[in-house]
Structure 1
Amino acid sequence: MHRSFARSCAEHSLEPGDWVTLDASCSSDPDGRGLHYEWTGDDKFEGDNFCIGAEVPDSGEKEVRVTVTDSDGDTDTASVVLTAS
């Protein structure tokens, strides 16, 4: 059995109120099987699958998590914190 890996793909400087695309397509399953993506966090998600849209908070931080699950039910979670610069 091989474990699937969740990964965020990039980091950027952000402004308050910006909408960003979060992309977990760098996630992988060593056996080459398809993955299911579940995004969780504070609020305001758009989209599903390996990409979603999220709004950068006006102040403070917002953590967004993606959990990937393979066809065997194995999971892994990665997170990114959105902070306005």
Structure 2
Amino acid sequence: MTIGGGAEYHGSTWRDVSNPGKGYASEQYHQNAYWLANLMTKYQITKNLSTTLNINNLFDKYYFTNIGFYSQRAYGDPRNMMLTTRWDL
């Protein structure tokens, strides 16, 4: 069995964006610094067959990406998992 992980640090960000829908010429989006944690575990079933589980955003951190891109912001990916099986010759 193999276990691994990773961490990503994102510093605080801000951006002045226009918001005509609210009647503001501009407003400021601000996001504090945050960490994202990822986890991976792999199990070698046989010499040729293995399975791997990857978990991204392990603690389900709520964050934004692309702040200010075309005067908008997008939510970052929530916790997600992927299970794969691999056959090596």
TM over 0.5: no
Q: TM-score, normalised by structure 1?
A: 0.31
Q: TM-score, normalised by structure 2?
A: 0.31
Q: Going by fraction, where is strand more abundant, 1 or 2?
A: 2
Q: Higher relative contact order by CA 8 Å / sep ≥ 6: 1 or 2? A: 1
Structure ID, larger Rg: 2
